[in-house]
Amino acid sequence: MKKAAPQNKPSVAIIGGGIAGLSCAQHLQVNYNPTVFDTGRIRPGGRCSSRYPDDEPKVKSQNQDSILSNYIIDHAAQILMAPEGDAFDSFRDQVDEWKQQGIVRSFPKDSVVEVLAKRADGCDNDGSNATNGIPLIQPVDSKHMYYCPDGFGSIPLNMAKSNDLHIEQDVWISPSSGVKYVNTKSQPQWSVQTNGKKFGTYDHVVIAHNGKCADRLMSKTPAKDLHSLLRVDFRPYVPDWGGKKMTLNSIYSLTVALKMGEMEELSQIVGKDVTTAFIKNEPNLKLITNQSVKLGAGASGKNDGIEVWTLLSSAKFAKKYKGPQENLPQERVEEVTTLMLAALERSLGLKTGGIHEGAVKDSRLQLWGAAVPLNVWSPTEQGDDSKNYGFMYDGEHGVGVCGDWLLDPSIAGAWESGRRLANWMSFSLEEDGKSNASSVGLPSLGGEFKQSRAASGSGIGNVR
């Protein structure tokens, strides 16, 4: 039986407008007044985001006439996975709703493949004699995989608009002074500000992002127990036993517009109906997506003959060639672009220089510095009740944390973590708006980091 909403809804500041933060806000709305603070320049979404043809460039004189500006581009998340098991029942219900609304679709049969090393018998995929370097390409089971026909950015847009969420967009809450704890006799409160602008005081705060900023954001608050889990390492791997800290990898995302007729068509190698390929035969790459097949032209047709591909690097490659995420030097952009295209040539058996400068009509490179969690926090006594894990909450100070690193490195994990935190905060809310929610998930209550085998294996999250 649902509890009646309190007459005076308490306020919540949610720092981070990715899937976890939006899900938390969505599920808090009945009992709270949530405000989401998101750093995205145009729209929320975090790693579940897309670039759209109508997007204004960051610098108005930049990229306005570029070829890629005419296309919908998924530059981070490429696959939505709906995990099996009781713990994700609610998320699968949400996926079914998104399917009915046309926001997500199942991948067509055999449109997701993996690229392996050349067959040991020397034959091509159809059994004929293979050319040296031609890889084995085989379909993978994609029955629980989904994509978004209008780009993955349509998921957070739907979550924000359909629930009429209050979002402060393009707002960066300073990690050093943006959030301050204000202790009152009746209830803990938090002040939120940025660049001298005060947004007000909130009854609760939720940290819905990770990385160094989240660590610093809570470092000067009295919520020391909760803060200790926000400390982070950036590495391309974690030990089998899970490690001592949250560990995030880094990934380069390269999108290129290739002119067909000036080079061998990649779609003829991987398959003309293939949208996505897991790369298993090249250490510098993890996944490639044919955006032209998955999302269509996304333009008026003036770029006929163009194939748009997105390449996701391995974490080891990204660490080796890492640069300042927000301002990559042009020399590093050119170097990484060249190296990733060379890796694609090796993977698909193209001759060296096959993807030559004349065929690359446009390109964009992005570094996701805090990309994918490689381990997850597992409380000692989570039991069989899913509402007791997958998030953290400090009842003494009125602060919670949600994110995929607390449950499963995936869109599903982020969404479910936000939902569970919201439900926990709502369950013990009194009619006068005061919360009696107890602490859960904190390290002092017991727990350990465990390696995510799925994320460690794929390098790009739990997507298979």
- Band the pLDDT of 66: cuts 50, 70, 90: confident
- Band the pLDDT of 146: cuts 50, 70, 90: very high
pLDDT, mean over the chain = 90
Single-letter code of the amino acid located at 162 = S
Considering Cα of 306, then 310, then 316, then 320, what sign does the dihedral take?
Answer: positive
- Band the pLDDT of 325: cuts 50, 70, 90: confident
Other C-beta atoms lying within 10 Å of the C-beta of residue 200: 12
Which of 26-35, 47-56, 64-73, 81-90 is predicted with the least confidence, judged by mean pLDDT?
A: 64-73
- Band the pLDDT of 19: cuts 50, 70, 90: very high
- Band the pLDDT of 382: cuts 50, 70, 90: low
Strand partners, 33: 11
Which of 51-65, 95-109, 213-227, 368-382 is predicted with the least confidence, judged by mean pLDDT?
A: 51-65
The confidence score (pLDDT) of residue 381 equals 67
Query: For residues 158 and 101, is the Cβ–Cβ distance under 8 A?
Result: yes
pLDDT digits (tens, 9 = 90+) for 71-122: 999 999 999 999 999 999 999 999 999 999 999 999 999 999 999 986 545 4
Q: Is the pLDDT of residue 274 over 80?
A: yes
The confidence score (pLDDT) of residue 65 equals 65
The confidence score (pLDDT) of residue 183 equals 78
Other C-beta atoms lying within 10 Å of the C-beta of residue 387: 15
Q: Is the pLDDT of residue 391 over 70?
A: yes
The confidence score (pLDDT) of residue 4 equals 56
